Amino acid sequence: MRILLVEDDELIGYAVERALKDDGHAVDWVRDGESALSSLYLEAYSLVLLDLGLPIKDGLEVLETMRKAKKIMPVIILTARDSIEDRIKGLDLGADDYLVKPFSIDELHARIRAVVRRNQGAADPVLKSALLQLNTTTKEVEVADEVFSLSAKEYALLHALMANPGAILSKQSLEDALYGWNEEVASNAVEFIIHGLRKKLGKAAIKNVRGMGWLVTK
Ligand code: CA
C-alpha cells in the first residue's frame, strides 16, 4: 500500500516511516502542508497519515483542501494529547481516525488495518479470492487448507492484488504500491516477488496476463 506521511517532527517521522516500510508499505514522507498537497496530486495514495501542526500550511488546511478536491483516501490524524478541539475539527473535516502522540507502532498498524478495512467496505479482516484467503491481521495466506506466512513485500504485493480480485495490476502500479520515491527498485523486483509467491502458493495463485500485468482469480 502506498502511504503519504506528513510529519515535521524528524524523530516521529523517521520511526513511523521505518515501521511502515518494515511492514511492506511504500512510504513518501513530506514535512510541510504545501508538499503534502502537491504529493496528493502526483501520486495515488491508499492512506494519508497527517500531523496537524505543520509548517507553511497546517494539517487541517491540508485536509480541508484535499477533501474539497475530492481526494477521498482515508486520513489518520497524528496529534498531540492537548488538542482535543483540533481532533474534533479534523474528524468533522473528513478524517477517518486519529492517533494521539506518543502512540505505539502496534497501535498505528492496528488503526491502519481498521481504517483500510472500513474504507473497502469490509468488516471481515480476511480478503478472499477464488483460491486464496489473505488474513490482514495475521498476514498469513491460506491456500487449499494450508497456511503460509509471507515476507513484508510478498504480503504487500498480494494485498494489492487481493484488494481487487479479477482486476489486472500492471508492473508499474505494483511498484507504486510497494516502493516510495527514494527507494531503489531493481527492474525485476516485482517479478522476483511474484516468483517467490508462486513458488510458495502454487503457480495458479497469481495469473500473468502477458504484456498487461497480474491478477488473482475472483
Ligand atoms: Ca508537527
CA 117 to chain centre: 11
- pLDDT-derived band of residue 59, with 50, 70 and 90 as boundaries? very high
- Ligand 1: centre distance to CA 105 (Å): 18
- Ligand 1: centre distance to CA 62 (Å): 13
- Which 3-state string (H, E, C) describes 128-153? ECCCEEEECCCCEEEECCEEEECCHH
pTM (2 d.p.): 0.84
- pLDDT-derived band of residue 124, with 50, 70 and 90 as boundaries? confident
The pLDDT score that the predictor gives to residue 80 is: 82
The pLDDT of 128-149, averaged and rounded, is 94
Task: Mark residue 166 as left, alpha or beta (left: phi above 0; alpha: psi -120 to 50; beta: remaining).
Answer: left
- Ligand 1: centre distance to CA 75 (Å): 16
- Ligand 1: centre distance to CA 86 (Å): 13
Distance between start and end Cα atoms, the chain? 20
Could you give the CA distance from residue 128 to residue 108 in angstroms, rounded to a whole number? 24
- Ligand 1: centre distance to CA 102 (Å): 12
Please, are residues 79 and 49 in contact by the beta-carbon 8 Å criterion? no
Q: CA–CA distance from 129 to each of 146, 158, 171 (Å)? A: 15, 11, 20
- Ligand 1: centre distance to CA 84 (Å): 15
- Ligand 1: centre distance to CA 64 (Å): 17
CA angle 157, 150, 177 (to 5 degrees): 20
The pLDDT of 124-152, averaged and rounded, is 93
- Ligand 1: centre distance to CA 18 (Å): 18
The pLDDT of 154-171, averaged and rounded, is 94
Please, are residues 14 and 7 in contact by the beta-carbon 8 Å criterion? no
Question: Higher confidence at residue 4 or residue 82?
Answer: 4
Question: Higher confidence at residue 83 or residue 91?
Answer: 91
- Ligand 1: centre distance to CA 153 (Å): 30
- Ligand 1: centre distance to CA 10 (Å): 9
